[in-house]
Structure 1
Amino acid sequence: MGKKIVLTPSIQRILQRMGEQIKLARLRRNISMEIVAERSGLGRTTVWAIEKGSPSVSMGAYAKVLHAIEGMDKDLLLICKDDAKGRLIQDLNLTVARRAPKRKNDE
């Protein structure tokens, strides 16, 4: 058996919010939980757990549910896409090439 993952309260809140957002996306599209379960090949219990933000459900199952909600799995590609802090750190570590001094015109 694998190790139990202990999450901080802030991560738990993020997962719960993500689950709520998945549920709202499904409801806005008027798609039943049964349809999502059927399309994703998962059980209703798993879909319910995802909508609750359960950390014990695999990332793959989350992706399958998002795909079942009209191809929303592509939204996973947005994770860390615009990494402003990482780009800033990278830019600060870049060395600026020094130019050779300008030559005086030989007259």
Structure 2
Amino acid sequence: MNMPDGTVVLERQLLLQLGDRLKRLRKAQGLGTVEMAKRAGISRTTLSSVESGDPGPAIGTYLRVMSVLGISGELALLAGDALQPGPPGTAAARSKRARPVVQVTVSTDDTRHQAQDLQSLALHEAAIRLARSDPELLLQAQHTLDRWLASGNSRSMGLWHEWQEILRGAKWRKVLARTRRAQELRQASPLTAVLPAQVRQGVLDQVAKLRTGVVLGDAEPQART
């Protein structure tokens, strides 16, 4: 059984956080989705994926959106040839000037149910990764769903029937979307019910750390060597 990597949830929240901020910045600049997608040279569907923090789009796609919004400068320099170490023996190479400190705080906001949403999303991503490599887990989820459906009337009956199609067709994107329907499907999910306890706890521990915030980057400036 594969345990979740200690940075999986952190990286997921970082993308979610980035997507939210790109969306807010687009709106602040008065750009609609049609115009924004046109300027970035991508489809509205792809733009929606970027603003949802979807890990599917390539980093180049994120960079295109950031470029239109005027915030891609540093990333563009790193991706190109502009930021290079100084040639050996030059003043730039010998410089002891402290390099700038760059920090990014990744966190969730309990007041807006971000932690709960992230936890649900991360649990499902972990379950789907396991289901792809272990058909037995998928079979367990189907058996669990069959028991629920046989139990009689429930307000979740419609969601469970939708889950039948999801499990049969492996339509995972429907579950991992950042839409109200996807949230409802995750709340009525048979997948997390069969998720191994160790994997579940690993995800919960990672989400708990993000409740207080995780800082990426240097704590203090460091001199160049």
Length-normalised TM-score, structure 1: 0.64
- Distance 1:77-1:60 versus aligned 2 partners, 3 A rule: closer
Q: Does 1:68 align with 2:68?
A: yes
SS at match of 2:72: helix
SS at match of 1:72: coil
State the alpha-carbon separation in 1 of the partners of residues 72 and 34 from structure 2. Answer: 18
Deviation of 1:78 (Å)? 9.3
Where do 4+ consecutive residues of structure 1 move more than 2 Å?
A: 75-79, 81-88
- 2:47 equivalent in structure 1: 47
Deviations 1:52-78 (A, max 9, x none): 011111111001111122x22115369
SS at match of 1:53: coil
- Which shifted more, 24-33 or 6-15? 6-15
The correspondence of residues 4-83 of structure 1 with structure 2, limited to 5 A, is 8-69=8-69, 71-76=70-75, 82=101
Higher Rg of the two aligned structures? 1
Identity across matched positions, percent: 23
Number of positions where the alignment pairs a residue of Structure 1 with one of Structure 2? 84
Deviations 1:5-63 (A, max 9, x none): x8711211111000000000000111011111101110001100000011111111001
State the alpha-carbon separation in 2 of the partners of residues 45 and 35 from structure 1. Answer: 13
Length-normalised TM-score, structure 2: 0.33
State the alpha-carbon separation in 1 of the partners of residues 40 and 62 from structure 2. Answer: 10
State the alpha-carbon separation in 2 of the partners of residues 52 and 76 from structure 1. Answer: 20
Deviations 1:82-101 (A, max 9, x none): 3535964x77xx7xxxxxxx
- 1:99 equivalent in structure 2: none
State the alpha-carbon separation in 1 of the partners of residues 72 and 16 from structure 2. Answer: 18
Name structure 1 gaps, 5 residues minimum: 1-5, 95-107
- Distance 1:20-1:78 versus aligned 2 partners, 3 A rule: farther
